[in-house]
Amino acid sequence: MADLPSVEAYLEGKSPDGIALFRRFEEMVHRCGPSEPAPRSSVVYSKRNRVFAGAFVEGRRLELNVDLVRDVQHADLIAAFNTTKRVITHRIRVTEADQLDDSLEALVVEAYEDVGPGFRGR
């Protein structure tokens, strides 16, 4: 996965529908507090000290990675798997803007607060 210079470089050539969903998710991440995007060729990660979420456009839909320290169920969950001993990555598929709702935002906030700071010294 190659680093890209910007989110705009990642979104170049993507479908307008996918970009619109990505931008709504990006707003959700910004509401959590300070973080920075880490754009790669295939995904844009959101991180504080540690990556806590990621988003990638697949055609007209958006695929999300939300890292949590617990396993959760969500209506749009397509997979969940351990990425470390402590962190479970939850893959969520978004095809419509209304799926970017309060329940998903609560998971992103949880990821931001629990995983984003990292675990060193905790």
State yes or no: pLDDT of 16 exceeds 80: yes
Q: How confident is the model at residue 122 (pLDDT cuts 50, 70, 90)?
A: low
Q: Which residue from 57, 65, 60 is spatially nearest to 108, judged by alpha carbons?
A: 65
> What does the mean pLDDT of the chain come to?
96
Q: Which residue has the tokens 């000290």?
A: 49
Q: Which residue from 82, 54, 56 is spatially nearest to 69, judged by alpha carbons?
A: 82
Supply the pLDDT for residue 120.
Answer: 77
d(CA 10, CA 122): 34
pLDDT, tens digit (0-9, with 9 covering 90-100), for 55-94: 999 999 999 999 999 999 999 999 999 999 999 999 999 9
